[in-house]
Amino acid sequence: MIVTSNKWTERSSNVAKLGCLWIKREEIRMPLQMDIIYLENSGFVVQTAQHTLVFDYYQDTSDTIAKLLQKRKLLHVFSSHSHHDHFNPIISTWQDQVAAFFLSDDIGNVGIRPEKIVWLRPYETSIHGDLKVKAYGSTDLGVSFLVEVDGWRLFHAGDLNWWHWKWDHKYNQVLAQNLFEKEMDKLEGLQLDVAFFPVDSRLEEYRSIGVKEFCSRVNVEQLVAMHTRGERWSPPSGFIPKGSVVASWCPIFSGDRLQLKKAQRAATDF
Ligand SMILES: [Zn+2]
């Protein structure tokens, strides 16, 4: 038989018997696409083939969420902790169009029907349909999220970072470093398609030390800078994380978008 093939085609060995004919079937796999829309601070919408995820919503001057709700999209909502710049109780008003809320357990119930909430503490895992979530720790409050969905593997750090404040007492600086290194020991070696990570400009010349360490200890295809406090970030000279980061994106305005494509690959275990 004639087989159309392109670089995304993967041949399966499926063989179907039809009457006395053996017909070889080809599974043509399309490239995967992901659309990322920036909201504010650490807030993002991530759209994959079958899912629309919302991370750390606190405000959205681009009306991105309102448009999704209007289109009757079903959302999966993630809130890494209760700080006002990562969480807004208004998310409860979306619940008729939310399949599940994955909430750090420091967030109180804000009127969401209990059956829709998955409370997560660090290192707990939840499987919701074909969406897999594992919470990791934070160096501030709450959790970070590892999510596997529609062939993508992504990590949203929440407020996990090496929070080195240069004006702070040495004791606190060492504590901040130790907390961060301890969490990095747990994340070491992860393979990530996309990682959302804070690069807070208030840390001044120490702004990049956390993300640099993160990218040297996990493998990231696409880095998305967040929690910038308005100041654009690009990898500084010397930011050479094993050569594994192939791209970085730093959105500034609510509604900024990035589209990613990749070949499909098999799902892996957490
Ligand atoms: Zn924060």
Instruction: Encode pLDDT of 247-268 as tens digits.
Output: 899 999 999 999 999 876 555 5
Asked whether residue 26 is assigned to any structural domain, the reply reads no
Asked whether residue 97 is assigned to any structural domain, the reply reads yes
pLDDT in tens, 181-192: 999 999 999 999
Among the residues of 10-88, which ranges form H helices? 64-70
Whole-angstrom distance, CA of residue 265 vs CA of residue 150: 10
CATH of the domain at 100: 3.60.15.10
pTM for the complete prediction? 0.86
Distance (angstroms) between ligand 1 centre and the Cα of 263 equals 33
Distance (angstroms) between ligand 1 centre and the Cα of 59 equals 13
Containing structural domain, residue 156:
31-262
Asked whether residue 211 is assigned to any structural domain, the reply reads yes
Among the residues of the chain, which ranges form H helices? 64-70, 170-187, 209-217
Distance (angstroms) between ligand 1 centre and the Cα of 83 equals 7
Distance (angstroms) between ligand 1 centre and the Cα of 103 equals 15
Distance (angstroms) between ligand 1 centre and the Cα of 106 equals 14
Distance (angstroms) between ligand 1 centre and the Cα of 139 equals 11
Average pLDDT of the segment spanning 49-78: 96
Asked whether residue 174 is assigned to any structural domain, the reply reads yes
pLDDT in tens, 219-234: 999 999 999 998 999 9
- 37-46 residues labelled b (16+ CB within 10 A) or e (exposed): bbbbbbbbbb
User: In the chain, how many domains are there?
Assistant: 1
Asked whether residue 146 is assigned to any structural domain, the reply reads yes
Asked whether residue 204 is assigned to any structural domain, the reply reads yes
Asked whether residue 65 is assigned to any structural domain, the reply reads yes
Asked whether residue 55 is assigned to any structural domain, the reply reads yes
